[in-house]
Amino acid sequence: MLELDSISCGYGAFRAVHGLSLTLRAGEITGLLGANGAGKSSTLMCVAGHVALQEGRILFNGEDISLLPVARRVHAGIAIAPEGRRLFKDLSVEDNLRIGGLIHPAADFRRDRDRVLDLFPRLAERLPLPAGNLSGGEQQMLAIARALMARPRLIMIDELSLGLMPKVIDLCYQALERLRSEGLAVLLVEQNTERALAVADHICVLESGRTVWTGSAALARGDATLASAYLGLH
Ligand code: ATP
């Protein structure tokens, strides 16, 4: 579904990611791992169109989207739950969802809303509340739900479990597995490497913007050198 063909991206003359190649298929979860500053968020934001692509190509369902503006990428089926969630905190939960679905006819809103509430039933009881009043876990659910309102084929989630309680992390991961079973491609950035390794089909490990490991998560789980050198696992 998504092919990153040797992409480099960054800010002005600064290069945050060097020559990353990655293929994502429908119905698979890919974990993008690495320490702080490795270039994970920059990669996601580059695919979404917010960070400048400096070299290489981005193909989405075979179409070269490298030069498409953000809105066209959303219409093509790419959505992001960004780092820090970036919710509209003074607006209600329902209005945050409405904004996520603005690219579709207003008449579709209820159906799309009910579909994401089925995935995150907790949000159903909180629809009239300001998003800023939700717990951290509920805010993360809302960020994912808002992204899903656009009916993406690829969803990118930055730091899914950061600061959340284990029970809530479980709920978010269950939702991800359901999205995978529905045929979405998921690109997941995680500091919680054990969680990501447990759920992902493939992983890619970045260090200082360069790819140090890419392959199946099953292989990664069995690679002791990778686990201790780059993933902080023993
Ligand atoms: P983190 O988990 O800390 O977000 P990350 O792996 O997502 O880490 P990025 O946020 O992509 O890493 O950062 C990669 C590099 O790009 C870092 O050196 C960072 O300082 C730099 N960078 C990130 N955002 C900007 C920006 N807006 N302007 C300039 N440099 C930036």
Residue with tokens 């917010």: 50
Written as one letter, the residue type at 10 is G
Residue with tokens 């179409």: 63
Residue 199, domain CATH: 3.40.50.300
* Residue 16 in domain: yes
User: Is the CB–ligand 1 distance for residue 84 below 6 Å?
Assistant: no
> What pTM did the predictor assign?
0.94
The pLDDT tens digits of the residues spanning 113-122 come to: 999 999 999 9
Task: Evaluate whether 36 touches 67 at the Cβ level (below 8 Å).
Answer: no
Closest atom of ligand 1 to CA, residue 38: 6
The per-residue pLDDT of the chain, averaged, comes to 94
* Residue 166 in domain: no
Please state the rounded mean pLDDT for residues 147-168: 94
CA of 184 to the centre of ligand 1 (A): 27
pLDDT of residue 188: 97
User: Is the CB–ligand 1 distance for residue 31 below 6 Å?
Assistant: no
Residue nearest to atom 18 of ligand 1 (CA): 37
Domain count, the chain: 1
- For residue 87, give Cα distances in angstroms to 50, 60, 95, 147: 17, 26, 10, 11
218 lies in which domain range?
A: 1-77+186-234
Whether the CA torsion 1, 19, 232, 217 is positive or negative: it is: positive
The pLDDT tens digits of the residues spanning 76-96 come to: 999 999 988 999 999 999 999
Whether the CA torsion 105, 106, 108, 113 is positive or negative: it is: positive
* Residue 110 in domain: no
Residue nearest to atom 26 of ligand 1 (CA): 11
pLDDT grade for 32, boundaries at 50, 70 and 90 = very high
Is pLDDT above 90 for 16? yes
pLDDT grade for 99, boundaries at 50, 70 and 90 = very high
* Residue 203 in domain: yes
CA distance 144 to 147: 5
* Residue 126 in domain: no
* Residue 26 in domain: yes
**What secondary structure does DSSP assign to 19-48, as a single string?**
EEEEEE-TT-EEEEE-STTSSHHHHHHHHH
Residue nearest to atom 1 of ligand 1 (CA): 36
* Residue 148 in domain: no
Please state the rounded mean pLDDT for residues 169-175: 93
Is pLDDT above 70 for 192? yes
Is pLDDT above 70 for 234? no
CA of 84 to the centre of ligand 1 (A): 13
